[in-house]
Chain A
Amino acid sequence: MTYLTLAHLEKSFGQNHVVKDFNLTVEKGEFISLLGPSGCGKTTVLRMIAGFEAPSSGAITIEGQDVTGLRTSARNIGMMFQAYALFPNLTVAENVGFGLKVGGVAKAERAARVTEILEMIGLPELGGRYPFQLSGGQQQRVALARALAPRPRVLLLDEPLSALDAKVRVALRNEIRSIQQELGITTIFVTHDQEEALSVSDRIVVMNAGVADQVGTPFEIYNRPATRFAAGFVGTLNLIAAKVIDPKTGTVALAGMNLQVQGTAQRAAGSDVTLALRPEGLRLGRGDGEGAVFRANVASVQFMGSTIRIEVMAAGQKLTLDTFNRADQPPPRPGDEVEISLSGNNAIVLD
């Protein structure tokens, strides 16, 4: 059952067309990330759902109710901002209870709910503190509690982690995800950080210049990017020029070798395509002998712990590949001649 629908949303600020024909349907309890570079309109989409901006055209529906023209305070949404935005004159408990108080919840019930939710975010003893007495991570937790306390229909998060330092960021994003799953609350999360989006989302919307480029699970977005933009924005990618030999069988030619790939059915024989390969789709060594094998010259080696990132020069271009670390097998050194192989199954065909 569709819970939240965005239909043909458009938004212009004067001449600036910021959001273009944005469509999305969200299931109840789903965690959706809007992922894209800064300025692509993520915040604007979120603010339209919240009711802070009115769409130039299009409709927003929550639980079957058209909320497009409804004012924010009547939408029953929860929102978390990058800048925390706790009320400085209220204590933590008063901040968390604010939405309940405004909603006319009786004092005793309010206190119980505040205690419950402060426990959920792991700060049960901080109810009496003022926001300025908390660290950034604690403030953002309180902001989460405040947004969740009135049991909103949708939780909206606008880059809530970007002001925090790396360790807190990872811890808090996992916590947001687990609380979200525990409560089963429908969530829209805005971020420009692909790792963040990949790690917590049920589905990701990759946005580019106001357009939803691709909507899919993290697995799909990463392994089957639909556009060159989505492919390039999420993760590292090797791009190799190739020519279609036989669209039916998926045979392409690259650097004098033939390779079987998927996704050439719509293309004409002889047309130029680009093969995109993740670093982990390239292998050091001959492998099982299938696919294409290149002679390569190692340019650099980065030891990253469980994986090793190797940059090589092959077929006249720079390629990046990742291999797992093995204690019994030292990595190659820069300058070494190696063989690398690639399988057509890992290649994504782009224009």
Chain B
Amino acid sequence: MTRFLAWLALIFGCVFFILPLVGMGEFSLKMRRGVYSFDAYRKVFEDPTFWATFGYSLVLAAATIVVGVLLVVPTAYWVRLRLPKARPYVEFVTLLPLVIPAIVVVFGYIRLFNTSSILPLTGTAFGTDFLLTMGYTTLALPYMYRSVDTGLRTIDVATLTEAAQSLGAGWLTILARIILPNVMVAVLSGAFLTLAIVMGEFTMAALLNRPAFGPYMQLLGANRAYEPPALAVIAFAITWGCMGLMQLVTRLAKHERAKA
């Protein structure tokens, strides 16, 4: 009886999540009257704006990941090594992006860095891209910090650091050759989450008026019938692809260096 109920719950859950997806997928195939076709997908892929915005967001995601790793890995390392008492506060700060809406952050940016300010970053495309990258880094901070901190927990940070120091290594060498490779799996899982966030982000890109993938999806959704669900399916495929990669990387890395 309990087994039956468990199965029932599982099936209900699956239906609850999959049915809308199936419906959406089915609808996206119905562009041509009467038959299933990939017309909507072709339309999307033929649209140069799709490729331009997709590429733009991808580049920004890469930049965000690099900035995030450079910011988070040394910080989380240092907090674990030298400031364990500060950990609750640092965690609190990294959680702030979850409670402060992106729109508040971006209005703050615009007020601080507008063309009549001391640092007119919004005046140039590059400056705005830079701002947007910083904004994305902030949004991804909770996920990046948590993954890296979890990764650091699996190694004996203090002793490995001392071993490396006794062999003559400086801080940069320790971070690059010892700490980073040992938390690579965690960094990658943080990176894929960052990628997923950046690809879908709308508010910041729209308000800073940059040609990102999020606003493009929004625009398409407001004006077309069949393409938006096709786009949604594509976005899902990308996200799931990321998840799969994450799993794959984790498994490969485990094989290579299981923790002693």
- Chain A residue contacts of B181, Cβ below 8 A: 89
With an 8 Å Cβ cutoff, the count of chain A residues facing the other chain is 32
Are A86's CB and B260's CB within 8 A? yes
Partner of B168, one of A52, A131, A132, A150: A150
The answer to whether the Cβ of B182 comes within 8 Å of any Cβ in the partner chain is: yes
Residues of B within 8 A of A (CB): 155-156, 159-160, 162-170, 173, 177-178, 181-182, 184, 256-260
- Chain B residue contacts of A72, Cβ below 8 A: 162, 165-166
Minimum distance in angstroms from B250 CB to a CB of chain A: 15
Interface CB pairs A-B, < 8 A, 9: A72-B165, A73-B169, A83-B159, A85-B160, A85-B162, A89-B257, A103-B168, A130-B257, A147-B166
A36-90 interface (Cβ within 8 A of B): 50-52, 71-79, 81, 83-89
A128-152 interface (Cβ within 8 A of B): 130-132, 139, 146-147, 150
The answer to whether the Cβ of A281 comes within 8 Å of any Cβ in the partner chain is: no
With known contacts A52-B162, A79-B162, A89-B182, A73–B259 Cβ distance under 8 A: no
Partner of B166, one of A50, A89, A130: A50
- A146 and B168 alpha carbons, distance in the complex (Å): 12
- Chain B residue contacts of A76, Cβ below 8 A: 168
Residues of A within 8 A of B (CB): 50-52, 71-79, 81, 83-89, 98-99, 102-103, 130-132, 139, 146-147, 150, 156
Are B178's CB and A89's CB within 8 A? yes
Minimum distance in angstroms from A230 CB to a CB of chain B: 30
Between B163, B182, B256, the greatest number of chain A beta carbons within 10 A of the residue's beta carbon is seen for B163
Are A146's CB and B167's CB within 8 A? yes
- A77 and B165 alpha carbons, distance in the complex (Å): 10
- A85 and B181 alpha carbons, distance in the complex (Å): 15
Minimum distance in angstroms from B76 CB to a CB of chain A: 17
- Chain A residue contacts of B182, Cβ below 8 A: 87-89
Minimum distance in angstroms from B177 CB to a CB of chain A: 8
Minimum distance in angstroms from B15 CB to a CB of chain A: 43
**Closest chain A residue to B173, Cβ basis:** A102
- Chain B residue contacts of A147, Cβ below 8 A: 166-167
- Chain B residue contacts of A86, Cβ below 8 A: 163, 260
Are A81's CB and B256's CB within 8 A? no
**Closest chain B residue to A156, Cβ basis:** B166
- A71 and B169 alpha carbons, distance in the complex (Å): 11
Partner of A99, one of B155, B167, B184, B257: B167
